[in-house]
Amino acid sequence: MPHRPLSLTLDLIARAHPIPVADDASALHLLTDRDLAPGLDRMLHGRPAQGNGLWVFGYGSLIWQPEFAVAERRTGTVRGYHRRFCLLQRRFRGSRDRPGLVLALDRGGICRGIAFRLEGIDPAATLMPVWRREMRGGGYEGRWVTVETGTGPVTALTFVVNRASDRYTGRLTEEEIADRIATGAGHLGPSAEYLFRTAQACAEAGILDDHLWRLQRLVAERLEADHRQEQEPRLAAR
């Protein structure tokens, strides 16, 4: 269970976003596996020498929805990057009319997350599902990072923001980020649900991230305020 309750709830999010959003494939060009394979090959050729397995470092949705076979997981810290909502979504967790935001690693600071050791004999085949998931939209770049864990360091693949992408928002204030998350929604659901599930998963893993915690509170406040405004005309008409 989370070490403290979240202000943001799934009921609050569902009340704010009652109508599903249709997918718009034209909103984001997605690379094919053929497009992605050379980059993955280069990534593997540049992999630092180490013999403790094939690892991926998750800091956002990979924590609660890894979508790959996991042989081992460890909580750990990466230095030189921090977790931030700085990647615009016009599809998946956002749309053209209601763009949202998702997490990426940006320069500076530290980030606590989960290091996953993947099962598989062929590194390219093992990594392609997560490489496809994170890289097909052009918003991320792959990096090998050292993850400090309680049982020793591991070298892991992670995904940092592609600052050259038109989806990179730069350093918005947390109030600006909360505004976009509160309104953003795509065919995979609202940005606020992504925030909720990430904050909940981090809390359950004992990872306290002040950025996530402040944002979930700010988004909850905005959704509550919007609901009150919607109710006022109905109450006045009674």
> Annotated catalytic sites, by residue?
134
Report the pLDDT value the prediction gives residue 227, as an integer from 0 to 100: 80
Report the pLDDT value the prediction gives residue 4, as an integer from 0 to 100: 72
Report the pLDDT value the prediction gives residue 193, as an integer from 0 to 100: 98
Report the pLDDT value the prediction gives residue 219, as an integer from 0 to 100: 98
The contacts of residue 87 (CB under 8 Å, 6+ apart) are: 101, 102, 103, 104, 139, 140, 161, 165, 167, 168, 169
Q: Which domains does the chain have, with CATH numbers?
A: 10-227 (3.10.490.10)
Report the SS3 class of residue 117.
strand
Report the pLDDT value the prediction gives residue 2, as an integer from 0 to 100: 42
Q: What's this model's pTM, rounded to 2 decimal places?
A: 0.93
Report the pLDDT value the prediction gives residue 189, as an integer from 0 to 100: 97
**What residue has token string 């979240």?**
6
The residue ranges of the chain whose pLDDT is under 70 are 1-3, 232-238
Report the pLDDT value the prediction gives residue 234, as an integer from 0 to 100: 56
User: What distance in Å separates the CA atoms of residue 54 and residue 42, rounded to the nearest whole number?
Assistant: 16
Q: Are 181 and 215 in contact (CB under 8 A)?
A: yes
Reference 97, options 177, 176, 187, 170; nearest CA is 187
Looking at the chain, which runs of residues are DSSP E strands?
55-58, 70-89, 100-118, 140-149, 154-161, 185-186, 189-190
Report the pLDDT value the prediction gives residue 56, as an integer from 0 to 100: 98
CA terminus-to-terminus distance, the chain: 42
